[in-house]
């Protein structure tokens, strides 16, 4: 039985050898296989992956994650640009830096460590090599103040710094050098490398990325993005530093939120968001999105049911006024249509000539649960204002404003003595279509466009 099985194996092996070697001796092929020493095979592997690292002459954008934690700074992502030179020097650059500082808490009477961020371009050159340790490992083998910041134990009293790696197992490196995947040797985080185009300046690239992220996910904007995963919608808040909290719309944030760090890169003219971990909601799983400028959304790569969009403009407008009690302002310098600008300047002229007041601005605000149109002016050295009561109704992104009454006798007198102010009140009484500013992801600025006369519009800024 065993003899028959062995004969069958020998026959198959003989056929393979004959096919591969043109009926030459199998024993000669065995000698060739084992002719290279272990050291030579390791050197060959090192040379192969070194060549693929240097295959991109302007280097790589490395999406670096120190750990799998969910809180900053160790759980956040950091974009590093790495140029691997053939002389085994490496240029590493970055823009965003965590910084641990000791802070005295007067309430508790103790010192605690607090993390802040430094937004500053930094670059350093050191050395690298590909070593072999049960597989190819990229090692930044001399100190680099950019890369080693995340693993230097001196940056925190615990002796762990930010918990990151400086040696990475190369888990995927295709022959065309279109990307490379690294795995932290100690922490196990996966870090994707994508090529940086030839001619792209590192500092300009990082400044561009930071500017785009600040525009889309501004830390100063009261709006949050919405993550759409098929039929489910999730709030995506506090994404300015790339560590958003994500929770179902309509649910309690504290009990339902989870954190998914992401980084933004640019390839050609396209901006990409890639999360550290795959997002799985129901039947949908995605990890990377690309920005569609025309639609002003991030569409998921490989799944057209998933995308990231800005908040609902109409809902945000109502919430900002009636719930959060924010103020919307416009003045002579705020962009508007020619006809609206002309009317505003006419009110300003009549205020000065007829009332001896200097018009400084106009507002929409809620006072004692009543929407008011406020006109602010300066009388002598004093800033003063008059209010007109309005009501509003909204359907989706269309809001109708209706004048109800003067808020005071002073307001009545001003309206009766300045015809242009009455014209402004009359103009405001109509249906307006709410539009975002440059992007719906940042609604600090809105444009109100007349639903009946699209050439009449004005811009309001959130205060």
Residue 97 belongs to domain with CATH number: 2.40.128
In this prediction, residue 132 carries a pLDDT of: 87
DSSP secondary structure, 347-360, as one string? HHHHIIIII--EEE
Are residues 319 and 454 both part of a single domain?
yes
* Strand partners of residue 365: 372
Are residues 120 and 93 both part of a single domain?
yes
Residue 330 token pair? 């416009």
Q: What are the C-alpha distances in Å from 378 to residues 334, 346, 382? A: 19, 17, 6
Q: Is 239 exposed, middle or buried (0-12, 13-18, 19+ CB in 10 A)?
A: buried
Instruction: Assess if residue 14 is contained within a domain.
Output: yes
Residue 143 burial (CB count, 10 A): 12
Give dist(CA 346, CA 421) in Å, integer. Answer: 9
Are residues 11 and 126 both part of a single domain?
no
Are residues 360 and 322 both part of a single domain?
yes
Are residues 381 and 331 both part of a single domain?
yes
Instruction: Assess if residue 395 is contained within a domain.
Output: yes
Instruction: Assess if residue 213 is contained within a domain.
Output: no
Q: What are the C-alpha distances in Å from 12 to residues 5, 9, 18? A: 11, 5, 10
| Residue numbers of the domain that contains 297 | 218-310
pTM of the model as a whole: 0.78
Assign 90 to helix, strand or coil.
strand
Are residues 448 and 334 both part of a single domain?
yes
pLDDT tens per residue across all 463 residues of the chain: 443 434 333 333 333 333 333 333 344 444 454 566 767 777 888 899 999 999 999 999 999 999 999 888 899 999 999 999 999 999 999 999 988 787 877 777 777 778 888 999 999 999 999 998 878 999 999 999 999 999 988 777 666 778 899 999 999 999 999 999 999 999 999 999 999 999 999 999 999 999 999 989 987 666 679 999 999 999 998 888 899 999 999 898 888 888 899 999 999 999 999 999 999 988 999 999 999 999 999 999 999 999 999 988 998 899 899 998 999 999 999 999 999 999 999 999 999 999 999 999 999 999 889 999 999 999 988 999 999 999 999 999 999 999 999 999 999 999 999 999 999 999 999 999 999 878 889 888 999 999 999 999 999 999 8
Which residues, including other chains, have CB under 8 Å from residue 309's CB and lie 6 or more apart? 225, 226, 228, 296, 297, 298, 440, 441
Residue 231 burial (CB count, 10 A): 10
In this prediction, residue 417 carries a pLDDT of: 95
Which letter, b or e, does each residue of 302-338 get, where b requires 16 or more Cβ atoms within 10 Å of its Cβ? ebeebbbbbbbbbebbeebbeeeebebbbeeebebbe
Could you give the dihedral angle defined by the CA atoms of residues 352, 355, 357 and 363, in that order, rounded to the nearest 10 degrees?
A: -100
Among the listed residues 82, 105, 104, the one whose alpha carbon sits nearest the alpha carbon of residue 94: 82
Are residues 304 and 435 both part of a single domain?
no
Last residue of a domain, one of 280, 295, 310: 310
Are residues 76 and 131 both part of a single domain?
yes
If one counts the domains in the chain, the total is 4
In this prediction, residue 456 carries a pLDDT of: 97
Residue 200 token pair? 């792209």
Instruction: Assess if residue 40 is contained within a domain.
Output: no
Among the listed residues 322, 320, 337, the one whose alpha carbon sits nearest the alpha carbon of residue 443: 320
Are residues 165 and 52 both part of a single domain?
yes
CA pseudo-torsion sign 168, 169, 174, 175: positive
**In contact, 68 and 84? CB cutoff 8 Å:** no
Instruction: Assess if residue 210 is contained within a domain.
Output: no
Instruction: Assess if residue 116 is contained within a domain.
Output: yes
In this prediction, residue 257 carries a pLDDT of: 86
Instruction: Assess if residue 430 is contained within a domain.
Output: yes
Give dist(CA 77, CA 243) in Å, integer. Answer: 8
Among the listed residues 314, 331, 320, the one whose alpha carbon sits nearest the alpha carbon of residue 378: 331
In this prediction, residue 206 carries a pLDDT of: 97
Instruction: Assess if residue 212 is contained within a domain.
Output: no
DSSP state for residue 217 in the 8-state scheme = S
Are residues 61 and 199 both part of a single domain?
yes
**In contact, 139 and 106? CB cutoff 8 Å:** no
Are residues 92 and 174 both part of a single domain?
yes
Are residues 319 and 458 both part of a single domain?
yes
């Amino acid at each position: 039985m065993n003899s028959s099985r062995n004969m069958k194996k020998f026959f198959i092996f003989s056929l393979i050898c004959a096919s591969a070697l043109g009926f030459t001796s199998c024993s000669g092929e065995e000698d060739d296989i084992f002719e290279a020493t272990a050291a030579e095979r390791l050197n060959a592997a090192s040379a192969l992956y070194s060549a693929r690292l240097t295959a991109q002459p302007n280097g790589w954008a490395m999406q670096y994650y120190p750990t799998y934690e969910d809180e900053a700074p160790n759980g956040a992502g950091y974009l590093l640009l790495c140029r691997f030179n053939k002389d085994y020097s490496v240029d590493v650059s970055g823009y965003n830096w965590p910084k641990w500082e000791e802070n005295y808490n007067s309430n508790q009477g103790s010192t605690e460590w607090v993390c802040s961020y430094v937004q500053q371009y930094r670059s350093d050159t050191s050395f690298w090599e590909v070593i072999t340790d049960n597989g190819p490992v990229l090692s930044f083998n001399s100190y680099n103040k950019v890369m080693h910041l995340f693993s230097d134990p001196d940056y925190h009293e615990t002796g762990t710094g930010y918990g990151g790696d400086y040696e990475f197992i190369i888990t995927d490196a295709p022959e065309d050098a279109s990307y490379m995947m690294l795995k932290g040797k100690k922490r196990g985080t996966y870090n994707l490398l994508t090529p940086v185009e030839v001619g792209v300046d590192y500092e300009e690239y990082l400044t561009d990325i930071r500017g785009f992220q600040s525009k889309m996910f501004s830390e100063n904007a009261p709006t949050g993005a919405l993550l759409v995963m098929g039929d489910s919608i999730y709030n995506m808040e506090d994404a300015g530093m790339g560590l958003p909290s994500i929770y179902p719309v309509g649910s309690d944030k504290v009990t339902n939120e989870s954190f998914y760090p992401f980084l933004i890169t640019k390839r050609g003219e396209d901006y990409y968001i890639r999360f550290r971990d795959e997002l799985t909601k129901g039947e949908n799983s995605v990890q990377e999105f690309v920005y569609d400028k025309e639609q002003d959304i991030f569409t998921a790569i490989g799944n057209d049911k998933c995308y990231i969009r800005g908040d609902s403009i109409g809902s945000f407008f109502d919430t900002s006024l009636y719930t959060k009690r924010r103020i919307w302002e416009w003045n002579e310098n705020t962009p508007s249509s020619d006809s609206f600008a002309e009317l505003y300047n006419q009110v300003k002229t009549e205020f000065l000539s007829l009332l001896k007041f200097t018009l400084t601005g106009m507002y929409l605000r809620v006072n004692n649960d009543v929407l008011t149109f406020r006109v602010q002016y300066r009388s002598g050295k004093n800033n003063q204002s008059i209010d007109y009561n309005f009501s509003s109704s909204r359907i989706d992104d269309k809001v109708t404003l209706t004048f109800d009454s003067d808020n005071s006798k002073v307001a009545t007198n001003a309206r009766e003595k300045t015809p242009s102010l009455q014209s402004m009140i009359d103009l405001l009484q109509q249906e307006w279509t709410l539009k975002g500013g440059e992007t719906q992801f940042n609604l600090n600025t809105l444009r109100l466009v007349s639903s009946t006369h699209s050439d009449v519009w004005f811009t309001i800024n959130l205060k």
